[in-house]
Structure 1
Amino acid sequence: MDRTDPMFLDALKGILPEQTMELLQAHLQNPQSALQTLWRQASLLVARLFSLAYPLVEPLLARLLQALHDSPDVVVLGFALALFVFVLQVVSWVHRTALYLTRLAFRLLGWALVLAVLAVVWRRGPEAAVRDVVVFCGRLAGYAAVVRDIWWSEYQRFDAQTKRGGGPGGPATAAAGAGGSQRVPSGGYSRSRNTGW
């Protein structure tokens, strides 16, 4: 902790007030402070645990490294599996980020529309805004009526062609429907077709 303290404190100099900096220097750089004592004890404990555990773990690590050296296929398979998991994590992160940004964009768009409507009402006044909405809805209803009339006339024309010609096909079906009977060349007999529904 002694090596990083001056750099850490120098970085905080312009951010924290002077009193806080003095307090931090008194507690971080003083060797008799409780924080320094805890740091020393924790580092000694970790060093002791490492020195006790290393003789127990070292043969296992040596065997594991030898096994990996003897079978490179396991290393390649492990590397491929780790790469696959890493790619899945990256794709999942990108997916979550895209969902978040899309949600954020639609929320911003919704709030922008609300603010735009409020700005129009504020600028034009409530009466003029209501009149504009009524005019817009009336024109929209007029366009919808025109589209409905066009669709209905096209539907009636298609229905008339279908009933008259036996299907939406060309002149062969229409001629067969108009003639009433059709001669079949292979059988030599005529078959009557009733096309009226």
Structure 2
Amino acid sequence: MDTDDTWVLNALQGILPEQTLHVLHVHILPHASGTFQTVKTQLFTTLQRTMATVQPLVEPLFERTLIALQNSPDFVVLAAAVGTIFVIFQMIAWVHRTMMFFTRLALRMVFWAVVAGLIAFAWQRGPEAVIRDIVVFISKITGYATVVREIWWSEYQRYDAQTRSASTAGAGSPRTASGYGGRAGW
């Protein structure tokens, strides 16, 4: 086994079970002609060829970019500020999503706890008592709604009477629809 590959087994020592580490040690890593070693060698060879081909093309562009950044430090400061603002907004969005997740989770738990409590209450009281309780509850709500409706209607009648008396009293005054004797189209 290469010394390059022993760090993989050492890093996975506390993560993977011993049987898996044994399979990795015996079947995958030590064989130079094994599938893992072949793929690894092919990948590194392809990567080295690509880097050797791309380096002469990218190096002048990279040098020009560094010189331009050195000549205009304002752009670097602006890019750093924009990057910092972007990171801050991403963190705020992350915190928002986390808070919304836990809020929804808590509200769902409360909802299902209420549902379970109502089911337990109905189970304990029996169907006749539950129906009687529902009828009593609905009648109380209906009575309360009737009282509120009567209060609202009496207040509406009082307001309507005040509005009518104000409009009949104001009919003889010089005020017009605009309120100050001016033309109504203003």
**Same fold at TM > 0.5:** yes
1:68 offset after TM fit, Å? 0.8
Match of 2:8 in 1: 5
* Deviation sequence 1:5-56 (CA, Å, 0-9, x none): 222331234xx3x543422222343143321332233223323432343233
Match of 1:68 in 2: 69
Match of 2:178 in 1: none
Matches within 5 A, 1:22-171: 22-32=22-32, 33-164=34-165, 166=166
Whether the 8 Å contact between 1:68 and 1:74 is mirrored in structure 2 is yes
1:160 offset after TM fit, Å? 3.1
1:117 offset after TM fit, Å? 1.6
Unaligned runs of 5+ in 2: 175-186
* Deviation sequence 1:99-128 (CA, Å, 0-9, x none): 444443443333233222212112212221
Whether the 8 Å contact between 1:28 and 1:35 is mirrored in structure 2 is yes
> Alpha carbons of 1:3 and 1:23: their partners in 2 closer, same or farther (altered >3 Å)?
closer
AA at the equivalent of 1:74: F
AA at the equivalent of 1:139: K
Higher relative contact order structure (alpha carbons within 8 Å, sequence separation ≥ 6):
1
SS of the residue 1:10 aligns to = coil
> Alpha carbons of 1:58 and 1:150: their partners in 2 closer, same or farther (altered >3 Å)?
same
Larger mean CA deviation between 126-135 and 98-107 belongs to: 98-107
* Deviation sequence 1:152-173 (CA, Å, 0-9, x none): 2222333333334x16xxxxxx
Match of 2:181 in 1: none
In structure 2, C-alpha distance between the alignment counterparts of 1:3 and 1:20, rounded to whole Å: 15
Q: TM-score, normalised by structure 1?
A: 0.69
RMSD: 3.0
1:70 offset after TM fit, Å? 0.8
Matches within 5 A, 1:166-185: 166=166, 177=169
In structure 2, C-alpha distance between the alignment counterparts of 1:128 and 1:7, rounded to whole Å: 68
